[in-house]
Structure 1
Amino acid sequence: MRMVFRWFGEGNDHVSLNEIKQIPGTEGIVWALHEVPAGEEWPMDKINEVKEQADAHGLNIDVVESVNVHEDIKLGLPSREQYIENYKRTIEKLSKVGVKVICYNFMPVFDWLRTDLAKEMNDGSTALFYEGSKIHNIDPLDLVKKIGEDSSMTMPGWEPERLAALNELFHAYKDVTEEDLWENLRYFLEEVIPVAEQHDIKMAIHPDDPPWPIFGLPRIMTNKENIERLLSFVDSPYNGLTLCSGSLGANPANDIPSMVRSFADRIHFAHIRNVKIFDNGDFIETSHRTQDGSIDIYDVVKAYHENGFTGYARPDHGRHIWDEECRPGYGLYDRALGIMYLWGIWDSLERM
């Protein structure tokens, strides 16, 4: 297991590369060019700039999260051809600086959704929270406005240019079915996986968060059966997964350790975090510790260890603790604690 840490770039992240370097066992950053709109080709000078920043701190840039897929590709519009060509050229450029994994998703409109970015927990910390009744009874545009007012930082999946086009996007998706989305995903993979193979970069799709339809939008990366279907589209080791225990684990029907064991050879990137699921289906993100949530994180890590996992892993969303002012879910302190918990399990398994 190779530990990495998500970093949003100088001027856009309160966590410094020097601080990341000090987290034991952490060898690289998970990065992206967040200022480049989805669909545009990434500039080589900007890519090199991130590499130089990471190199100066002895950190690798092996994992990119994310090279976002333009909505026209998901919608299957004729304009997708140009955006797919841009994607291919970005893959080629990233290979020149040693990138090994590209994380991406195929979620329409929203990359992820929560109803509260700072729900207070019993210990005084706060965390990302999903309350189902608010999703069922609210206009999505009102929710977006509320969440946008709560955060002083840009957030992946909630970029201003995307939010500005929400009305148009909802209209564009009104007749798109799950099968339509599947077919558009297949087309995308058949185009980009050969390029990824050529440049030795593994594509790793992230599951939907949460793993069910929202606001009438189709969602397809939600369970084991759908993951199997995705992997069958292009039967190549370069067509793989970012297995996120927190995203899939929000549905108690998803057995995360079983998924790890089933898909071990196609998991290129592991997001490991815990969530506590309430009886009504609401959920809140907790510490990584097994006892604090509904996912057996010990067994998740054990499943990776049993299968000799040598891919990349990162602690996913953390709580906001010790009065840290940070991007929602992406503070330094709780994610660093999460890394040490994950290493503690891994090191114990190595000794058995």
Structure 2
Amino acid sequence: MNITFRWYGRGNDTVTLDQVKQIPGVKGIVWALHQKPVGEVWEKAEIQAEIDYIQSFGFHADVVESVNVHESIKLGNEDRMKYIENYKETIRNLGAAGVKVICYNFMPIFDWTRTEMFHPLEDGSTALFYEKAKVDNLDPQELINTVAAASDLTLPGWEPEKLARISELFEAYKHVDEEKLWENLGIFLKEILPVAEESGIKMAIHPDDPPWSIFGLPRIITGPESYEKLIAISDSPANGITMCTGSMGANKENDMVEIAKKYAYLAPFSHIRNVKIYENGDFVETSHYTQDGSINVQGVMEQLSKQNYTGYVRPDHGRHIWGEVCRPGYGLYDRALGIMYLLGLWDAHEASKAGSKQ
């Protein structure tokens, strides 16, 4: 297991790499060129400058999250090949710089959805919250306003240039159902996977967040059956998943322990976090501690240990604790606590394995 920490870059994050360096066990930084417009080629010089900075603190920069997919590719527009060719060039440039994994998603318009960025919890902390009834009855523009007001920092998946076209995009997606979205994903993968293989990179698709349709938009990476369809598209070793316990696990029908047991081999990258799911379909993000939420984090880590998992793991969204002012879900303190919990579980399972062999 290779512990990493997501960081949004110089001048774009309240957390510094000096601080991350003080968290035991962190080997790498998960990064991206967040200021690049979606669809543009990531140039070699700008890639190398970011990697050099990360490596100067003693971290590797093996994982990029994310190289976002242009909406024209998801929609299957006539200009999609231009953006696919740009994506291929970015893959080549990242591979030449030593990157090993690219996390991406194929969610229409919204990469993630929450109705409240700083929902108060009983312990005095705050966290990201999803209110199902509100989303079911909300005008998308209201949601956009809520997210935009939450932070002055970039919020990936909510790029201003995309949100400025929101009405146009919703109109375009009226002609795209799940079957068509799968078709467009297949075209994208068959184009980029050979390039990823040649570049030594594994593509790791992230589940939809949350894993069900919102605002009538199609969602396709929503449960274990989605992984079977993904495998059917291509058996390329570059065709992988990002196993995110909080995103896929927000649907209580998705047993994350069973998913880890069956599909961890497909996941060069894993996001481990916890959510508490309510009977009405709401969910709130909690600490990583198993007992605080609805995800069996302990069981997931046990499965990874049993499989001698060597992929990259990062704590995912954390609460906002101890008065920290930070990007929603991405403060320092609770994610650091999450790392220590994951390492404790890992060490315990590894010790148990070693004991059983004596």
Equivalent pair of 2:34/2:154 in contact (CA under 8 Å): no
Per the alignment, residue 79 of structure 1 pairs with 79
Question: Once the two structures are superposed, what CA deviation does each residue of 1:277-303 show, in whole Å capped at 9, x if it has no partner?
Answer: 011110000000000000110001011
1:84-163 residue pairs with structure 2 within 5 A? 84-163=84-163
Residue 313, structure 1, aligned to residue 313, structure 2: yes
Equivalent pair of 2:220/2:226 in contact (CA under 8 Å): yes
Question: Once the two structures are superposed, what CA deviation does each residue of 1:234-287 show, in whole Å capped at 9, x if it has no partner?
Answer: 112210000100000100000111111111221110000000001111000000
Distance 2:204 2:238 in 1: 8
Question: Once the two structures are superposed, what CA deviation does each residue of 1:1-42 show, in whole Å capped at 9, x if it has no partner?
Answer: 000000000000011111111111101110000111111101
Per the alignment, residue 330 of structure 2 pairs with 330
Per the alignment, residue 241 of structure 1 pairs with 241
The number of residue pairs the alignment matches comes to 352
Per the alignment, residue 55 of structure 2 pairs with 55
Shift of 1:165: 1.2
Percent identity of equivalent pairs = 59
Per the alignment, residue 261 of structure 1 pairs with 261
Question: Once the two structures are superposed, what CA deviation does each residue of 1:144-177 show, in whole Å capped at 9, x if it has no partner?
Answer: 1122123222211111111111111111101211
Equivalent pair of 2:203/2:240 in contact (CA under 8 Å): yes
Distance 2:142 2:128 in 1: 18
Distance 2:347 2:147 in 1: 39
Distance 1:99 1:318 in 2: 26
Report the residue type matching 1:15 in the other structure: V
Distance 1:307 1:174 in 2: 42
Equivalent pair of 2:116/2:146 in contact (CA under 8 Å): no
Distance 2:166 2:174 in 1: 12
Residue 179, structure 1, aligned to residue 160, structure 2: no
Per the alignment, residue 297 of structure 1 pairs with 297
Question: Once the two structures are superposed, what CA deviation does each residue of 1:76-125 show, in whole Å capped at 9, x if it has no partner?
Answer: 11201010000111011001211000000000000000000000000000
- For residue 103 of structure 1, give the secondary structure of its aligned residue in structure 2: strand
1:203-222 residue pairs with structure 2 within 5 A? 203-222=203-222
Distance 1:218 1:55 in 2: 39
Equivalent pair of 2:211/2:223 in contact (CA under 8 Å): yes
Question: Once the two structures are superposed, what CA deviation does each residue of 1:190-215 show, in whole Å capped at 9, x if it has no partner?
Answer: 00000001111000000000000000
Report the residue type matching 2:291 in the other structure: Q
Distance 2:264 2:276 in 1: 25
- For residue 150 of structure 1, give the secondary structure of its aligned residue in structure 2: coil
Distance 1:314 1:336 in 2: 10
Q: TM-score, normalised by structure 1?
A: 0.99
CA RMSD of aligned residues (A): 0.7
Question: Once the two structures are superposed, what CA deviation does each residue of 1:54-97 show, in whole Å capped at 9, x if it has no partner?
Answer: 11101111000000000000001120101000011101100121
- For residue 336 of structure 2, give the secondary structure of its aligned residue in structure 1: helix
Report the residue type matching 2:288 in the other structure: H
Distance 2:34 2:147 in 1: 19
Distance 1:226 1:280 in 2: 24
Distance 1:146 1:305 in 2: 40
- For residue 24 of structure 1, give the secondary structure of its aligned residue in structure 2: coil
- For residue 313 of structure 2, give the secondary structure of its aligned residue in structure 1: strand
Structure 2: runs of 5+ lacking an equivalent: 353-358
Question: Once the two structures are superposed, what CA deviation does each residue of 1:125-153 show, in whole Å capped at 9, x if it has no partner?
Answer: 00000001111111101221122123222
Q: TM-score, normalised by structure 2?
A: 0.97
Per the alignment, residue 45 of structure 2 pairs with 45
Distance 1:20 1:42 in 2: 25
Runs of 4+ in 1 over 4 A off after TM superposition: none
Per the alignment, residue 167 of structure 2 pairs with 167
- For residue 89 of structure 2, give the secondary structure of its aligned residue in structure 1: helix
- For residue 318 of structure 1, give the secondary structure of its aligned residue in structure 2: coil
Per the alignment, residue 227 of structure 2 pairs with 227
Report the residue type matching 1:2 in the other structure: N
Shift of 1:178: 0.5
1:15-26 residue pairs with structure 2 within 5 A? 15-26=15-26
